[in-house]
């Protein structure tokens, strides 16, 4: 099933993975407040992993509705493309405070 190193899942994403039976591994590292190349790329470097296998999850709103975008670490999210893919007209990044409530 999952490899958790004796730590309980706590985030909504981890809880969903557990519930669905998806195999996953939690990788831990020291997080810096300074991100020279961006959070996802710096995380890949800290973990010693190829950034092509690291993805970031970004929460946004399309026409007011919450959506989640999964983007490769080295890529930038295009909000116009996100709106179109979600069948809407306008997309904006979600406020971090609102994202934490989901």
Looking up tokens 């007209």 gives 89
The 10s digit of each residue's pLDDT in 44-94 is: 888 899 998 888 889 999 999 999 999 998 899 999 999 999 999 999 999
**What's the pTM?**
0.69
Answer yes or no: are the C-beta atoms of 73 and 56 closer than 8 Å. yes
Q: Which residues contact 10 (CB under 8 A, 6 or more apart)?
A: none
Give the pLDDT of residue 39: 79
Q: Coil, helix or strand for 63?
A: coil
Please report the pLDDT score of residue 45 as a whole number. Answer: 87
């Amino acid at each position: 099933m999952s490899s958790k190193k004796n730590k309980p899942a706590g985030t909504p994403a981890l809880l969903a993975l557990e519930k669905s039976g998806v195999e996953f591994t939690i990788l831990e590292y020291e997080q810096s407040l300074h991100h020279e190349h961006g959070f996802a790329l710096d995380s890949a470097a800290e973990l010693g992993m190829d950034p092509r296998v690291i993805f970031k999850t970004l929460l946004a709103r399309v026409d007011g509705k919450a959506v989640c975008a999964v983007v490769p670490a080295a890529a930038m999210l295009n909000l116009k493309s996100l709106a179109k893919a979600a069948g809407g007209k306008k997309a904006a990044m979600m406020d971090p405070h609102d994202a934490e409530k989901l």
